[in-house]
Structure 1
Amino acid sequence: MSARSFCTSVTSPDGLSRVLREIRGAVTSPTGGLVFVTGPLVPHLHTLATRVAAAWKGVPTVLVPGSGVLHERAELEGVPAASGILWSGGKVTPFALGDAEDSPRALGESIGQALGARPSTALLFHRTEGFDTSLLEGLATAAPSACVFGAGTVGAGGVVITADGEERLARAVGMSIKGLASPIVAASPACRLVSELVPIEEASGGLVLRLGGRGALDELSQCAPGSSNPGASSPLVFAALAESDDVTEDGRPRFVVRPVRGIDPSRRGVMIGADARPGMLMAFAVRDAQTAKADLETMARVVSKNALGAAPRFALYLSCAGRGQGLYGAPDTEVRILRQRFGDLPIAGMHAAFEISPREGRPSRLDLYTSVLALFRSPS
């Protein structure tokens, strides 16, 4: 078998060791692994790393804490649990980088230099604290041909276990994967637009003043759900930002979700942050379960279509902690959609603090309330 995934409720390192040994016995000549943990297991990452190194001896692995874990058959949230995947094929090189004094951009450049000039796939996990999008810009400058995706850890930073069994902790951990076909990676937001995407005409220091010919606060007040019924409870409203030339295969703008950080009534402005710049498109949006499911179904269909003619080996699925059962009101909603499309393909992943998705010819981007699917295939 070229890959094997697992997902289990487990309360102790000993319980995880048994699962890891079983997975190791099912994969011939493994070359890389990922283990995701949640709940009370997170404070015991060092002990868990020792168990992973023993059970998967000689296999470079990254151990990642999240708010939930998943594989192709289940999502486990709110319980002590672990999931993961072990695969054969390709060359995996782990990294753990980031001293306290490194700026985010300098850290990104260090990661890019570690990846090298040759095209590669880079899986990146970063602590929530201290993350800045300038890291992704620095990484793209140093390694412009790398396909970079990943997520934000929850509760602690990740741990790298090298092929020699050495454990490394850092702000940013991950691995480069070479020798397999470049994965098909796509992202799916969980938000529904409640206004049209229109150009930002005026912004200052992250405060959007005018868009679409009117004050930003006027636009927000007009489109906010419940504005016509002040007594009704309203969902939280976010900003959706897009670039006019960044579109999906069916021509829809690819937007990123950002929180509304505040308002300035005197200037009729809405504070979004540095990502909101004049010339970009902006709308307002709310989390919506039906939209999230429909968009995920579309994304899975497109990824499956693009994989025709290649042999899928395994997939990684990184979803936002703001999705899952809290959004849908029922467990396993997203993995059921993936299973309907990909069957028994081994999949592993986590519920993350944030997501990182790649963009062709541009730096990877920070996503919120989004899921990222990466389908790995055999080399052609």
Structure 2
Amino acid sequence: MDVAASLSRTAEGALAAAEAADAVAVGLGGTCDLAVVFVRPEHAEELEAIGVAVETRLEPGVLVGAVSQGVVGPDAEVESGPGVVVWGASMPGGRLQPFRSWAIRTPEGGMAVAGWPDPHPDDTVLVLADPLSFPAAEVAIRIGERGRGPTLIGGLVTGGAGLSRFLLDGQVHDDGAVGVVLRGVATRPVVSQGCRPIGEPLTVTAVDRNRILELGGVPATRRLQELLDEVDDTERALLERGGLQVGLVVDEVRDRYTTGDFLVRGVLAVDPEHGSVTVGDLPRVGQTVQFQVRDASTAHDDLAASLAGVGPAAGALLFTCTGRGQGLFGVPDHDVQLVRGALGGTVGGAFCAGELGPVGDRSHLHGYTASMLVFDAHDVRQRGT
């Protein structure tokens, strides 16, 4: 497998795409089976021309791409100003199935998804979806309910209000989702949720949909107050500034739980009057949960730990949350530099408004996460500029 990627900050979109695609062509030195393109909102209206420039130079078997609020190049994250990233790979022996999917209303008033592929459980599905028009979270839930399913990787990608644009083999779409099913390609998913457990594990004993009413027979808000009373001033400040999350244990058979054992969800509301804590999921009675804290240091450590032992790799596609980046870490290029340093391969990707990736044996939609699709290093050449 050969992997190459390039970032151009040239202001004119088609020219930037041509520059980046030329560099990828040199890096691959041959066939391009998959090309992935991400562009900053400044280039939203040029996406069709950008696609033509990439197709002309790389002649990829499959071309997918999107406008995103930020783009990730081999060495840099561009969160403002022009930016076009082209990532390409040669995948001998792999089978790639591109798809376009969209949501439709049923006669009963519900919602169905059209165009979704029928992948095998061992497949990897790369998904780029619009956060407003495509129910990515529901798709992931339905796949998980069927038992062991394919790995979903990607995210909710948009340039902002009115700037959702998706590219699939030369066609531009402004809603739904595009993607590609990867079969017979050596890949590994890596998901870093950027949180650490705090306090003690607790059992949900009463719940109303996404409202946790009781933990261990005690009102959930009382348990939260007990936690705030126990922690030091630094951790209390983090929790009160929005760093509070809840982790839902995904494998109940363990005796002890660490960072990777939780599906982390945000705390949406705390209601002292009714004693409830509302979270961004549907916890169940009997499930073990533990409060979590998120900050820059924890996010750094968790990403480093998630990458330990994964490399070397041919390359990776990185989907990092818009809530990370320089705003969280205080320095530019944090995630891409850490990923490239750990994997040694070529990185490309996008900033997302929600990231898809597996925790346990199921894929989920996350927030504030760095989700990666790592391509294994077997007979590899990789280059990035």
In the TM superposition, residue 133 of structure 1 has moved relative to its aligned partner by 2.4
1:184–1:203 CA distance, 2 compared to 1 (3 A): same
The structure-2 alpha-carbon separation of the partners of 1:168 and 1:267, relative to structure 1 and needing over 3 Å to count, comes to closer
User: Residue in 1 aligned with 2:382?
Assistant: none
Correspondence 1:341-380 to 2 at 5 A: 341-343=342-344, 345-359=345-359, 361-362=361-362, 364-377=363-376
Q: Aligned partners of 2:364 and 2:53: how far apart in 1?
A: 34
Q: Deviations over 1:81-140 (max 9, x none)?
A: 122311111232211111442699732x852xx244473211012111143522113345
| Selected match of 1:178 from 180, 183, 186 | 183
Question: Using the alignment, how far apart are the partners of 1:142 and 1:157 within structure 2?
Answer: 30
For residues 286 and 323 of structure 1, what CA distance do their matches in structure 2 show? 15
Aligned counterpart, 1:91: 95
Match among 124, 129, 132 for residue 127 of structure 2: 124
2:191 to 184, 187, 194: 187
Partner of 1:330: 331
Distance 2:203 2:43 in 1: 46
- One-letter code aligned to 1:148: L
Kindly indicate whether residue 285 of structure 2 is the aligned counterpart of residue 278 of structure 1. yes
Deviation string, structure 1 residues 12-39 (Cα, Å, up to 9, x no partner)? 2223222223322432111011111123
Aligned residue for 2:42, secondary structure, equals helix
Tell me if structure 1 keeps the 8 A contact 2:314–2:378.
Answer: no
Deviates more, 1:261-270 or 1:141-150: 141-150
- CA 1:342/1:259 → structure 2, altered by over 3 Å: closer, same or farther? closer
Provide the rounded CA distance (Å) in 2 between the counterparts of 1:232 and 1:342.
34
Q: Which residue of 1 aligns with 2:251?
A: 245
Residue in structure 2 matching 1:295, options 272, 291, 302 = 302
Aligned to 1:106: 112
- With over 3 angstroms needed to count, the CA separation of the structure-2 counterparts of 1:142 and 1:171, relative to structure 1, is farther
- In the other structure, the counterpart of 2:73 is 71
Distance in 1 (CA, whole Å) between partners of 2:101 and 2:250 is 34
Most deviating of 185-194 and 318-327: 185-194
Match of 1:106, SS state, is strand
Tell me, yes or no, if structure 1 residue 159 matches structure 2 residue 166: yes
Aligned AA for 2:269? G
Normalising by structure 1, report the TM-score: 0.84
CA distance in 1, matches of 2:62, 2:143: 22
SS at match of 1:85: strand
Distance 1:277 1:268 in 2: 17
Measure, in 2, the Cα distance between the counterparts of 1:143 and 1:174.
Answer: 22
The residue number in structure 2 matching 1:10 is 10
| Separation (CA, whole Å) in 1 of partners of 2:355 and 2:319 | 7
Q: Distance in 2 between matches of 1:262 and 1:129?
A: 22
Do the aligned partners of residues 216 and 44 (structure 1) sit closer, same or farther apart at CA in structure 2, a change above 3 Å counting? farther
In structure 2, distance between residues paired with 1:159 and 1:332: 25
- Give the superposed CA RMSD: 3.2
Query: How far apart are 1:209 and its partner, in Å?
Result: 0.8
Cα distance in 1 for residues equivalent to 2:51 and 2:337: 30
Query: Does residue 45 in structure 1 map to residue 47 in structure 2?
Result: yes
User: How much has 1:287 moved relative to structure 2?
Assistant: 2.3
Q: Which residue of 1 aligns with 2:23?
A: 22
1:251 and 1:268, CA in 2 relative to 1: closer, same or farther beyond 3 A? closer
CA gap of 1:117–1:336, structure 2 versus 1, over 3 A, is closer
| Contact 1:317–1:347 (Cα < 8 Å) also in 2 | yes
How has the CA–CA distance of structure 1 residues 98 and 244 changed in structure 2, closer, same or farther, with 3 Å as cutoff? closer
- Residue in 2 aligned with 1:199? 203
**For the residues of structure 2 that align with 1:193 and 1:358, how far apart are their CA atoms?**
19
- Give a deviation string over 1:265-319, Cα, whole Å, max 9, x none: 3211112244222222323333211111111111111323xx7xxxx33211111
- Residues 19 and 361 of structure 1: is their aligned pair in 2 closer, same or farther, counting only changes over 3 Å? closer
Contact 1:126 1:157 in 2 (8 A): no
CA–CA distance in 1 between the matches of 2:245 and 2:237?
A: 21
Measure the CA separation in 2 of the matches of 1:257 and 1:348.
25
Given that residues 121 and 177 in structure 1 are in contact (C-alpha distance below 8 angstroms), is that contact kept between their aligned partners in structure 2? yes
Instruction: Determine the C-alpha separation between the residues in 1 that align with 2:367 and 2:229.
Output: 20
* 1:264 to 1:341, Cα distance in 2 relative to 1, 3 A: closer
* Unaligned residue ranges in structure 1 (runs of 5+): none
Cα gap change, 1:132/1:185 in structure 2, threshold over 3 Å: closer, same or farther?
closer
* SS, match of residue 276 in structure 1: coil
